[in-house]
Amino acid sequence: RIDLNVRIQCTECQSTRDKVEILRHLPVEVGKEDQRPYSLQQCLDNSFACESIECNCPNCSCRTATKISTVLRTSKAFLMNFKRQIAHSSLPIRKSKAQIALDNTTIDLAPYDSSSNSLPLCFKLHGIVKHFGETTDSGHYTAECVSRDDSWMAYSDGCVGRTSPPTGANSEVYLAVFLSENDGEEARFDDTADDMAESPPDAPDQAKILAVTDNVESLSSSSSSSTGTKDDDDEADAVFTPDQADSSSSTEDDDDD
Taking alpha carbons only, the member of 219, 202, 223, 256 closest to residue 72 is 202
Taking only the tens of pLDDT, the chain with its 257 residues reads 888 999 999 998 999 889 999 998 899 888 888 888 889 998 999 889 998 999 888 888 899 999 999 998 888 888 999 988 877 666 677 888 889 999 888 898 888 887 766 556 889 999 999 999 888 778 899 999 999 999 999 999 989 999 999 988 988 999 999 998 875 444 344 444 444 444 444 555 555 555 555 554 554 444 444 444 444 444 333 333 333 333 333 444 444 44
Measured between alpha carbons, how far is 237 from 257 in angstroms, rounded to an integer? 24
Give the pLDDT score at 224. Answer: 43
Backbone angles phi, psi at 253, to 5 degrees: -90, 125
Taking alpha carbons only, the member of 76, 108, 107 closest to residue 180 is 76
